[in-house]
Structure 1
Amino acid sequence: MGALSHIKVLDLSRVLAGPWASQILGDLGADVVKIERPGGGDDTRSWGPPYLLDEAGQPTGEAAYFLSTNRNKRSVTVDMSQPSGQALIRQLAAQADVVLENFKVGGLKQYGLDYDSLHAINPRLVYCSITGFGQTGPYAERAGYDFLIQGLGGLMSLTGEPDGDPQKVGVALTDIMTGLYATIGVLAALADRERTGKGQHIDLALLDVQVACLANQAMNYLTTGQAPKRLGNAHPNIVPYQAFPTADGDMILAVGNDGQFAKFCEVAGKDWAQDERFSTNRARVTNRQVLVPLIRQTTVMKTTAEWIAALEAVAVPCGPINTLEQVFADPQVQHRGLRLDLPHPLAGHAPGVASPLRLSASPVSYRNGPPLLGQDTEAVLHDWLALSAQQIHALREQQALG
């Protein structure tokens, strides 16, 4: 039994931030019902190529993007534009513990599916709204997208080479972080409900999350009034802490203290640790423009593997820069079981990436792969609402279902 096996989640979200949160809740055992529009479903179902291939090597039409964030869910197609569809979602919400949604501010009110409407029929409901800019403020009506928020929220000003263009991160990191905060907020609200017996509304904004996650870089600015600059792979507060070239590629050197730096110098055959310009991290940060070129001239003399073997032997943090092929071939990644293969009705099985959560008493479980559009409609309506086949047929006649 998963930690959340007693929890029912009604997921009205789509794309990434909301589905990322509901997938985590599903991994932890929650019964997650994903409401999708008939005909098309979640936008990411068509965000390809690439698509999942069947056993004959042919595309199934199921986009890899959708597969990345929708396991452990059941798909129900409901036409929200129909009054009977709206009524059906309200019935499901009355049985739910959690609702997740990422519609524009006020977008669900016209359907009677906003927080106030659903709270009135289910006071214990935890209702999480994910938007670009939050429920209030001058930008509240704007649509928010990860790329836009990475720029607006300052992350791109910190990412990229000093003499190059600002860069976004290679995955939709703001969406992912928002999904994680949504999960945390839902779990906190569920814990509070155990004490108060009441649910609550969670107002979560991508911009808020992005600014909050500027972490030390935000504090570097707030304590000095000086905006940090792009440093490429270098660290603003630690030196050496960046990528360096080797004889056959590159490696990451992540020296976290003066003792590690002295060990690195010993392996490199250099006396930099005795040089007052480099003996402390504060001095190294001040003199990075002198030290970094000296290190680069040294690291190119050995291969990446030679450096890693020598530095790991003396506990100096270092590592390669892997391609994804190398990542999933890595023995540690394989030992931890980070690649999954889950059953899939069109392809036989679908690959996936495991949850990083390792709970000793209530571990995550992988009960089913990402669903086909609407594949669980009848089962969910029977399980949650005890509807008969005749009642479900009537809903189809009313065009409430896909």
Structure 2
Amino acid sequence: MKQQPLTGITVLDLGQIYNGPYCGYLLAMAGARVIKVEPPGGEAMRGRADPPLSYPFMMLNGNKETVTLNLKSDAGREMLRNLARHADVLLENFAPGTLDRHGVGADALTAINPRLVYAAGTGFGRTGPHRDYRAMDITVQAMTGVMSVTGHDGEPPLKAGPALCDILGGVHLYAAITTALVRRERTGRGAVLDVAMQDAVFPSLTSALGAWYVSGGQSRRTGNHHHAWAVAPYNVYAAGDGHVAIICVRERHWLALLDAMGKPELADDPRFTDRATRALNMVATDAVVEAWTSTLSRVDVFEVCQQHQVPCAPVQSLADVLNDPHLLERGALAKVAHEHYGEVALPSTPLRFKDVDPPAVSLPRNAGADNLQVYGELLGLSADDVASLVDAGAI
């Protein structure tokens, strides 16, 4: 079996909720040894469900070893310092300064291990006037401007449904870590990394900002339409059993859609002669498209559009996605047996190498399941030592 790209890299994952854990999961799925460091009793995210292993926790924390460590205890902090001597990477997404106040922040740990890559994921960064603002996905969406361009004109701002900022922040944290590891190969030096969710999300506003500049600073929420109201059709249309998304960004797409709908004569209709004209007649354009889509199922619309090379997709439900044959065949989703939930679909890694298959997806281990193994191997502690630390509340 060929080695994974990050085989031999040891990561201490102090991540919590979504941001840090997703970064740690990507590292684990690339072959790194990821040791999840949790407080005694486990990360709070474990218990957001009954039975106490929430699906989000399962999604983001498989394929990791897990140890418990009480950073509020002197012994726990000293153990983290000693673990850092053996680590290539430490990642965390606490509020800025949290670990510094415990004496185990970036300066302290990189002084112990100059090759350590210390990676901090934050809402707004470790510097700047907003560094101490409490950050959750919705607050970062608000601060970043995402909510200002989501939803429909005349209605209140709307957050994106998924945890957009947390996950994009985690992806960029992964990119920063792997970049720092490449630099370390050249220089022998570790790094202190600062990856803010706000910074990571800003580039996603590219279309909205383009429309803002072109319009001279005017901004309206456009719902499912193009941010600049400049493309039609570009919308979500009712089908007989749900909805489909269709976009015709090029003239050939529109002409192909007319053929798909059996309406080639509309190519000569003065309301639809080019993209600009269709945008001016957006209501009429959408009406023509929906008059066709509403007579067919989502799958039928999708298949006909694909045959004519028209950009189109059915709006899939969560149930659809969890059983998507494309995702399953590619291995992007793995079906894993769970004692309480039955079979659950968990994501693999989106990072694919042609010559190396990603590791099989595994469920998270119980909090502290690897205390004996990790603390014995890395710190030389015996079973009696570990038991004493449990009794003392250090782990």
TM-score higher than 0.5 here?
yes
1:177 Cα offset (Å): 0.5
1:392 Cα offset (Å): 2.5
TM-score normalised by the chain length of structure 1: 0.90
| Cα pair distance change 1:179/1:379, threshold 3 Å | same
Q: Which of these residues, 172, 182, 198, is aligned with residue 191 of structure 1?
A: 182
Q: Does residue 1:251 correspond to 2:244, yes or no?
A: yes
Matched AA of 2:65: R
- Distance, in Å, in 2 between the alignment partners of 1:359 and 1:300 is 41
Q: Which of these residues, 12, 15, 22, is aligned with residue 14 of structure 2?
A: 12
1:241 Cα offset (Å): 2.0
1:8-66 Cα deviation digits (max 9, x unpaired): 11111100000010001001111111111112x21211222xx4xxxxxxxx3211221
Moved more, 153-162 or 188-197: 153-162
Q: Which of these residues, 113, 119, 125, is aligned with residue 134 of structure 1?
A: 125
- Distance, in Å, in 2 between the alignment partners of 1:90 and 1:227 is 52
- Distance, in Å, in 1 between the alignment partners of 2:243 and 2:337 is 38
Q: Does residue 1:225 correspond to 2:248, yes or no?
A: no
SS of 1:399's equivalent in the other structure is: coil
- Distance, in Å, in 2 between the alignment partners of 1:343 and 1:294 is 47
- Distance, in Å, in 2 between the alignment partners of 1:226 and 1:21 is 36
Matched AA of 1:230: R
- Distance, in Å, in 1 between the alignment partners of 2:218 and 2:106 is 39
Q: Give the match for residue 23 of structure 2.
A: 21
| Cα pair distance change 1:347/1:290, threshold 3 Å | closer
- Distance, in Å, in 2 between the alignment partners of 1:343 and 1:292 is 45
Q: Which of these residues, 260, 278, 296, is aligned with residue 253 of structure 2?
A: 260
**Would you say the 8 A contact 1:97–1:126 is kept in 2?**
yes
Q: Which of these residues, 26, 30, 34, is aligned with residue 36 of structure 2?
A: 34
- Distance, in Å, in 1 between the alignment partners of 2:273 and 2:119 is 50
1:168 Cα offset (Å): 1.4
- Distance, in Å, in 2 between the alignment partners of 1:294 and 1:344 is 48
SS of 1:189's equivalent in the other structure is: helix
**Would you say the 8 A contact 1:3–1:363 is kept in 2?**
no
- Distance, in Å, in 1 between the alignment partners of 2:129 and 2:178 is 29
Please provide the CA RMSD for this pair: 2.3
- Distance, in Å, in 2 between the alignment partners of 1:319 and 1:78 is 47
1:289-309 Cα deviation digits (max 9, x unpaired): 442233333433444343333
**Would you say the 8 A contact 1:132–1:205 is kept in 2?**
yes
Moved more, 372-381 or 332-341: 332-341
Moved more, 354-363 or 120-129: 354-363
Q: Give the match for residue 167 of structure 1.
A: 158
Q: Does residue 1:2 correspond to 2:7, yes or no?
A: no
Gap regions ≥5 residues in structure 1: 52-59
**Would you say the 8 A contact 1:343–1:368 is kept in 2?**
no
- Distance, in Å, in 1 between the alignment partners of 2:69 and 2:282 is 59
Q: Give the match for residue 268 of structure 2.
A: 274
Q: Give the match for residue 48 of structure 2.
A: 47
- Distance, in Å, in 2 between the alignment partners of 1:273 and 1:5 is 57
- Distance, in Å, in 1 between the alignment partners of 2:154 and 2:211 is 21
Number of equivalences = 390
Alignment of 1:151-166 (within 5 A): 151-166=142-157
| Cα pair distance change 1:140/1:75, threshold 3 Å | same
1:183-213 Cα deviation digits (max 9, x unpaired): 1111111111111111111111122222232
1:283 Cα offset (Å): 3.5
Q: Which of these residues, 281, 306, 310, is aligned with residue 312 of structure 1?
A: 306
1:345 Cα offset (Å): 7.8
| Cα pair distance change 1:213/1:307, threshold 3 Å | closer
| Cα pair distance change 1:344/1:311, threshold 3 Å | closer
1:93 Cα offset (Å): 0.9
| Cα pair distance change 1:332/1:342, threshold 3 Å | closer
The percentage of aligned residue pairs carrying the same residue is 32
Matched AA of 1:378: L
Q: Give the match for residue 377 of structure 1.
A: 371
Moved more, 110-119 or 311-320: 311-320
1:160 Cα offset (Å): 1.6
**Would you say the 8 A contact 1:126–1:186 is kept in 2?**
yes
Q: Give the match for residue 87 of structure 2.
A: 96
